Amino acid sequence: MLADAWAYLLDGANWVGDEGLLPLLLQQLLITVTALGIALVIGLPLALWLGHVGRGGFLAVNVSNVGRAIPTFALLALLVTAAWPGTAYFGPYGRAGLATLLALAAFALPPVITNAYVAVREVAPDAKEAARGMGMSGWQQFARVELPLAMPLVATGVRLALVQVWATATLAALVAGPGLGRVITDGFANTDYGKGIAGAVVVALVALVLELVGSVVQRRADPMRVAVRPTAKVQPATS
């Protein structure tokens, strides 16, 4: 089966066309980024504000826990069987594209909300007090002190959500949705296990790439990261 999967990946004909690996990969990447964007627009401002005012933590954390407890496939199945959004085509996202977007956006909310809230809430009290002592307003304190110090943990939540949504997006194929999951389900349904494994390998490799890119962005978002550069030794002057 591994040899069949390798042969499937090496065949250029399997990468092109409407059902090719490359178009389906781009489709899944598009729906992943869009779902993550929706989650960021909805959850990030709310979580940052709650962390800044120091209220609503119980609500934020427990709503996130409820979101984790809801199976994404169950939510997706409910959405596609409803009159809206149903299984209609949604632009470049394909059949059941809107239902898939909503289900994945809901799946991305918990790590985004939890990490953003905790990141701002756990900023060192001394830093906040110093900002107030300098006469900063509440907005200036948030923008100049709290948000920069919170960015590494916020970026961690975004990275986790990105990788999780990418991997979970393969479930869309179970309701005839978009993405590489169609290659996996089609391969195993027709006992073409090499094809199914090939699709799974592509999903795993892209997940690793996204994880690496997210890790780099996360490190660069840390304002406390200090670049260590070698310094030349100064020899003492001799008379």
Phi and psi of 95, rounded to 5°?
A: -65, 140
Neighbours of 53 (CB within 10 A): 12
Write down the domain spans for the chain: 2-220
Query: What is the pTM assigned to this prediction?
Result: 0.88
pLDDT attached to residue 239 = 45
Q: What is the pLDDT of residue 232?
A: 45
* pLDDT given at position 38: 96
* Architecture of the CATH domain 2-220: Orthogonal Bundle (1.10)
Per-residue pLDDT tens, the chain, 239 aa: give them: 889 999 999 999 999 988 899 999 999 999 999 999 999 999 999 899 988 887 777 777 777 777 777 888 899 999 999 989 999 999 999 899 999 999 999 999 999 999 999 999 888 889 888 888 888 888 889 988 999 999 999 999 999 999 999 999 999 998 888 899 999 999 999 999 999 999 999 999 999 999 999 999 888 877 776 444 444 454 555 54
What is the Cα–Cα distance from 76 to 73, expressed in whole angstroms?
A: 5
Q: How far apart are CA 98 and CA 112, in angstroms?
A: 21
pLDDT of residue 237: 52
